[in-house]
Structure 1
Amino acid sequence: MRNYRDCVVAVIVGENGLVFAGERDDRAGVWQLPQGGIDPGESPKEALLRELREEIGTDRVRVVREGQDWIHYDFPEDLEAPIAKKFRGQRQKWFLLEFLQDAEPSIEKSDKEFASLSWKNPAELMRDIVAWKKEAYEKGFEIFSLIKE
């Protein structure tokens, strides 16, 4: 039985409750929050800051809140990505963050996982993520009270 991959998710909140997201470089029109795996010996917060540097070019954030529970999701059976061969899915630690005043996110400074970066309404982001992550995002946004009915 394959295990879950431990990872972190960065929910960077800006003005008017918008969240900072990236359009995936490998899937046009598919957006997600910055996220990534926790390396062996790395704490979730260390992984969070490393992933932010890698994906959006800055780790200049303030942690507002850390979700207490881990959120799980399974990869679809037909997912061809190498990670899906190694892991059953992901076990995520969610963090609510704010950019520091001197933060300058940029895909030009990143590892190019994203084709573009933008502020999104959480409900809009829910429409633009892959279907198999939707339940995890609903749980994560609920933890931080980001989606208003």
Structure 2
Amino acid sequence: MRTVVLTNGCFDILHVGHVIYLQQARELGDWLIVGLNSDASVRALKGPARPINPQDDRATVLSALSCVDEVVIFDELTPERLIRDIRPDIYVKGGDYTEANLPERDLVTTLGGVVRCLEHVPGRSTSALVAQMSNSGRTWQETRRISE
């Protein structure tokens, strides 16, 4: 019997923070499923200028990572339907969440799963990369200092 791990997100511009996070998530189990927000849900969550990359491109890039076993695109703003359908053994979110403030926590535990929140890589985010691109080529470190 294998341990199924589920995570989800926009993964708009894949960066080292995403890769480390996904590798750590995969190490928690035998099968990593990534729930990928559709273009429509990314726009609803992040605004009309996002996503930068269309959902099929994002899914292809994620699928190419050896730590990712499956990618599932979903249209909803939250992954609750996906959690109900997959019933993961472990549901993983990044370090910008805590188990206490994770809305999906109760659903996951009710279905018999556990929640894990992993540390994120400081200074690495799609938002910082987008800001860097729009700030005349400043480095991500400069952009981060400006945005703090």
Superposed pair shares fold, TM > 0.5: no
If you compute each CA radius of gyration, which structure gives the higher value, 1 or 2?
A: 2
Report which structure shows greater RCO (CA 8 Å, sep ≥6). Answer: 1
Q: 1 or 2, which has the higher helix percentage?
A: 2
With the length of structure 2 as denominator, give the TM-score of the two structures: 0.28
With the length of structure 1 as denominator, give the TM-score of the two structures: 0.28
